[in-house]
Amino acid sequence: MDNGARRGRPTLATVAASAGVSVATVSKVLNGRSDVAADTRARVQDVLQQHQYVAPAPRRAEGHGTTTVELVFDYGLHAYTGEVVQGVLDAAVELGVTVSVSSGPRRDRVQPALESPSAWARRIAAAGRRAVVAITGELTATHLAALDRAKVPVVVIDPLNPQLARLTSVGATNFAGGMTAGEHLLALGHRRIGYAGGTPTAACNQARVGGLRAALEAQALPLPPEYVTAALFDYGSGFEGGAQLLDLPEPPTAIFAGSDEVALGVIEAARVRGLRVPQDLSVMGFDDTQLARMASPPLTTIRQPLSEMGAVALRTALRLAAGETIDSHHVELATRLVVRGSTAAPAGRRSG
């Protein structure tokens, strides 16, 4: 490292000299331009990391600047993410904030040159983003540390691991929601209740099935391992998980799904087996997206306030960017039961 880097904040010229390239080339790498040779890009990124270079935010004309927040998500535009994103955008309009949307880091995405966490964080800082709101399961402790070095605060919605150091997050009362789901089905008279879940390592999925298990244990009932499936929070996983549960020698009479989309897959698995919902099988979901209202029959579900979660995440990110102290690094918004037409008493327990 040269004397200029030791005396203070490294400059583009410092980085360019260390990498043996022009200032323009360093600028192209920082801005993600494609017209830089791969080996040159790698060399510049290594030097940027050695110097821990963070580009200054772009200057804004007095009275004409806007605050820009990066919204990062990698789950695709499903019903869940659509409602969370809408909440972020609605809050941004109210607050006069600009939102830039980007796709987050994913291990399963094929990319010509996968960015390192440091390069990714520097690029966001160089673009003048004041904060990051993330709907992603792929942000690691390394990504969080890189954003911290770049002085870009981040708030994660429904993180896979809310216990990561320095993580500020927003979620819902998933355990309480799972328990409420179990209590609803038990009150209807169900005793064999299955769970078709989403990503097994996700904290929200573990909390939902944990809440169901707690409700069953309170009635001295088990949740057998074969009554629990987990894959992804999508329709296909619901169909496969529902099929697995319904093909058991003694299948459940009710299935609690880890999301509304999973629940729709379960309903289809029941349909192709000639089972009616709710006459032969009760099904309930989690989220209360528009899918729940459009389902046939309309879906009983646990509502988590997705739009509000997005708004709270944006407001929290802006408070962190302003240097304010927040009361809690993990906020959980309340869930509640929404009863519609997909749940009923099991056939043997109905009157008349």
Kindly indicate the confidence band of residue 349, based on its pLDDT and cuts at 50, 70 and 90: low
pLDDT at 141 over 90: no
Whole-number pLDDT of residue 114:
63
CB 123 within 8 A of CB 150: no
Distance CA 119, CA 332 (A): 32
Whole-number pLDDT of residue 55:
62
Average pLDDT of span 175-195: 98
Kindly indicate the confidence band of residue 33, based on its pLDDT and cuts at 50, 70 and 90: low
CB 281 within 8 A of CB 275: yes
Distance CA 58, CA 15 (A): 19
pLDDT at 26 over 90: no
Look over the chain and give the mean of its residue pLDDT values, rounded to a whole number.
Answer: 87
Kindly indicate the confidence band of residue 350, based on its pLDDT and cuts at 50, 70 and 90: low
b/e map of 96-108 (b: 16 or more CB within 10 Å)? ebebeeeebbeee
User: Is this model's pTM higher than 0.75 or not?
Assistant: yes
Which of 48-52, 195-199, 334-338 has the highest mean predicted lDDT (pLDDT)? Answer: 334-338
Among 324, 206, 193, residue whose Cα is nearest residue 256: 193
List domains and CATH numbers for the chain.
3-51 (1.10.260.40), 68-172+307-321 (3.40.50.2300), 174-303+337-349 (3.40.50.2300)
pLDDT at 63 over 70: no
Residue with tokens 């990124």: 45
Whole-number pLDDT of residue 23:
78
Residues in the chain: 352
Among the residue ranges 100-104, 117-121, 123-127, the one predicted with the least confidence is 100-104
3-class SS string, 23-45: HHHHHHHHCCCCCCCHHHHHHHH
